[in-house]
Amino acid sequence: MAAVFIGSEAIASADVTRHELQRWYAPIYPGVYAAKGQQLSLRHRTEGAWLWSRRRAIVAGVAASALHGAQWVDADIPIELVWSNTRPPRGIVAREQPLADDEAARVAGLPVTTLVRTAYDLGRYLPRRQAVARLDALMRATPFSTEDVLQLAERYPAARGIRRLRSVLHLVDGGAASPKETWLRLLLVDAGLPTLTTQIPVVDRYHVLAMLDMGWPEFGVAVEYDGDHHRSDRRQYVKDQWRLRKLAELGWVTIRVIAEDTPKDVVERVRRALLARGWRPESSSL
């Protein structure tokens, strides 16, 4: 029997008795069950939400992005569905909205909005920073054309969030390897610093020495976000120190950013490094 199932169907097919269902299983949504004590993954909850709709809904939004391969999606997010239901249970968001036949596909056995339609919805419904982070993750996992997303938006000129969508699409960058890197990039963009490049390869004697998170190769300035593993893992720490020394020998100034840094401090450190390397605000494309 499947890990997530419709209780009435399981009883009708004699997979479980009514007594077994009540004793060994618990509902995760009305009428949809999983084994008691089972750790529910995002896949379980997504499939359960679809089963709750009696297999009629289309998975959308952040859950759809995860099915398309996007990372950094927690297992407990609300599952968004394109379906007509005014009172979905806790943990499900149902939206009745137009969805053309070419805007849905089947991914990993579930009906889901296409890659372009998923990007269209993420950009419309989420706040700016969250939208860019989710779109970055989607682009990194499965590259899509932002122009295709804009063309799709032309089908629904009066749809909610179209202006927000247009404002975030030009910020999408699949080079962001984490939501924190997206946050850092947006911080620098919003500070009026010059247009940066992500995932910069640094070659030393025909070997790639490093892949820098982001920066300005023309000025030899890089910015990297250090997660906790950089400090808690001694082996990683030693590797980072060696790498920093080699980068310095090759002429790079590397700004390391940690969670405890304030946005103001980060911007000022980067600005000073750029100015020292010859950048002038009046010559940048703001």
Residue 47 forms part of a structural domain: no
For 32-49, the pLDDT digits (tens) are 999 999 999 999 999 999
Q: Is 274 helix (H, G, I), strand (E, B) or coil?
A: helix
Residue 46 forms part of a structural domain: no
Residue type, 48: G
Are residues 148 and 67 part of one domain? yes
- Domain hosting 18: range is 1-39
Please tell me the total count of domains within the chain.
3
Are residues 264 and 188 part of one domain? yes
Strand ranges (DSSP E) for the chain?
4-6, 25-29, 32-35, 58-60, 79-82, 92-95, 104-107, 110-113, 197-204, 207-216, 221-225, 253-257
Are residues 189 and 164 part of one domain? no
Residue 49 forms part of a structural domain: no
For 108-131, the pLDDT digits (tens) are 999 999 999 999 999 999 999 999
Are residues 137 and 118 part of one domain? yes
Are residues 119 and 78 part of one domain? yes
Are residues 60 and 18 part of one domain? no
Are residues 192 and 144 part of one domain? no
For 141-199, the pLDDT digits (tens) are 999 999 999 999 999 999 999 999 999 999 999 999 999 999 999 999 999 999 999 99
Single pTM value for the model? 0.91
Residue 202 forms part of a structural domain: yes
Residue 82 forms part of a structural domain: yes
Are residues 144 and 60 part of one domain? yes
First to last CA, the chain: 58
Are residues 209 and 140 part of one domain? no
Are residues 94 and 23 part of one domain? no
